[in-house]
Every structure is written in structure tokens, then in C-alpha cells.
Amino acid sequence: MPHASLPAARFFRLIPEGRPPQRADRSAAGTLPARAARYCDAVTQAAGFGWYVFPPMDVSLLWDGDDVFWTYDAVDRWMLLSAAQFPGFSACFDAVAPAHLQGCAPPFLTALAEPGTVQIWSGLLARTAPDWSLLVRPPANLPLPGGYAMYEGIVETDRWFGPLFINIRLTRTDVPIRLRADFPLFQAQPLPRAVYADGVLGAMSVVPGPSLLAREDWDAYRRTVLTPNLDPERPLGQFAVSARRRRKACPHATA
């Protein structure tokens, strides 16, 4: 758990025009079916885990199979992308940066060596509590506009203080792909570094067949699957209600 005096994550807005990060929504910005939003705790927990991060402005990308082009509302032409600064940001950065860092503003967009792959900077830097990282991934359970796929990454942001970005791979040619400043670009989720250590991920076993389940396993299955369905008057979403009560009763939830 992060230290009581430290937030799990701090985001630094270098491009103030961009929308600030916000807590991810348990209803996936209202897109979940009503039944899932109300009764499926697993889905809503995943949707609400972390923070939405937005692009700092509306931008459109176009891949012709060889090169990537980009444009935005203030211009009326497609521009070949190699690396591009957010409009006006380089001068703003140099006006406040120490002398030895002037000229080192991070690019907003970068065309990577892999065909159709673009690195997009959110306009943010991020820092997490000691021994915590950020998982950068597509927004959970939120339908994407289409035309691109994302590469996920785990950034050890307690040690690495740099631009918070994501890499996307364009999947359509000759079709403009628009990224909106009011739609989440990605979701950042806090992870204690211990949970993805080799010792934890290597400590996995497989029971090869149902005949090897222990009695306590069968009892747990009965409580989870059979018993609730034998009660004709059980309330809908009983598991979701119980899970929410457990979280409220857990002292770590408020810490």
C-alpha cells in the first residue's frame, strides 16, 4: 500500500490545454449494459480500476501502408509524420525549463520504425509511490473507435520520471483515424511491483482434472454456483452486493 502521506500516483500536466486524468468509470463511461453495470461486480471493478488518460487535443492519423500522416483542426492539410511537437509547446517548455534542458521538450507524436506504429504522448509526466508502477493499457471494457490497436506496457514510474505515452498500431490504410481529446486514450492502473515479480508469477499450479479437486474445493463450488440458484427469492446481484460490502468493511479500502 502507498504510504499514507503519498498518493498512489501523481500526474504532472506539461500541456495544460489537455484534459486532466480522471478516475476510470465503473460503468465504462456509461457504455456498459445496464444489467452488467448493476449486477456484474467483476466487470465494474475492472472498468473502474485506474485512471483515464486523454490525448491533449483532437488529432487525426492516416496510414497509407508506408508512411503515417497527421493533422488537426487548426490546419487544412495532411503532414508527413516523423516526430511532431504539440503546437506551441516547445517554446512554452523552453520558457520554464532549466537551461540545460531547453530544447528537450518531448514530442507529441512519433512515427516508430514498425509500419503504421505511432507513439502518442499524453502531455503528462507521472510519478508513483515507492515500489509502485503504472500499467498503461486500453481503457477497460470501453469500446474503442476502431482502426488501431494498442501496445500495453508496465512503467516503473517510481524510478522513471518521463513522458507518459502509449504506442498504437494503425490497422486500416487510407482511412483517417481520429483521436478525440474528450475520449480516453488509455487507462493507467497502479500496480505494486511485487505482483508481477517472477517469484509471484512463477508460483502457479494446475490441477489436471476434476477428480483431483479436494473436498473444500467442491464445497466452495457448491456455495458459489449451486446454493444461490436453489433460493427462488434470492435478490439479483447478490454477489456484487456482498463484494461491495466486503470492500467497505476492509480497512485497506479507505487507506
Host domain of residue 216: 212-254
Q: Tell me, yes or no, whether 1 lies in a domain.
A: no
Q: Please, which pLDDT band fits residue 254 given cuts at 50, 70 and 90?
A: very low
Q: Which pLDDT band, with edges at 50, 70 and 90, does 255 fall under?
A: very low
- 206 lies in a domain? no
**Gap between the Cα atoms of 222 and 235, Å rounded:** 18
Q: Which residues of 64-79 are buried (b: 16+ CB within 10 A; e: fewer)?
A: eeeebbbbbeeeeebe
Read off the pLDDT of residues 26-80 as tens digits, 9 standing for 90 and up: 999 999 999 999 889 999 999 999 999 999 999 999 999 999 999 999 999 999 9
Q: Are residues 136 and 228 in the same domain?
A: no
- Residue 4 forms part of a structural domain: no
* In-domain check, residue 151: yes
Phi, psi values for residue 121, rounded to 5°: -90, 135
Are 126 and 188 spatial neighbours (Cβ–Cβ below 8 Å)?
yes
Residue 48 belongs to domain with CATH number: 2.70.40.10
Q: Are residues 15 and 132 in the same domain?
A: yes
Residues 17 and 138 in one domain: yes
Identify each DSSP E strand in 105-250 by its residue range.
Answer: 109-111, 117-128, 132-137, 148-151, 153-155, 163-170, 177-179, 186-192
Q: Is residue 75 part of a domain?
A: yes
User: Is residue 152 situated within a structural domain?
Assistant: yes
Q: What is the pLDDT of residue 241?
A: 54
Overall domain count for the chain = 2
What pTM value is reported for the model?
Answer: 0.86
Query: What 3-state DSSP class applies to 209?
Result: coil
Whether residues 237 and 155 share a domain: the answer is no
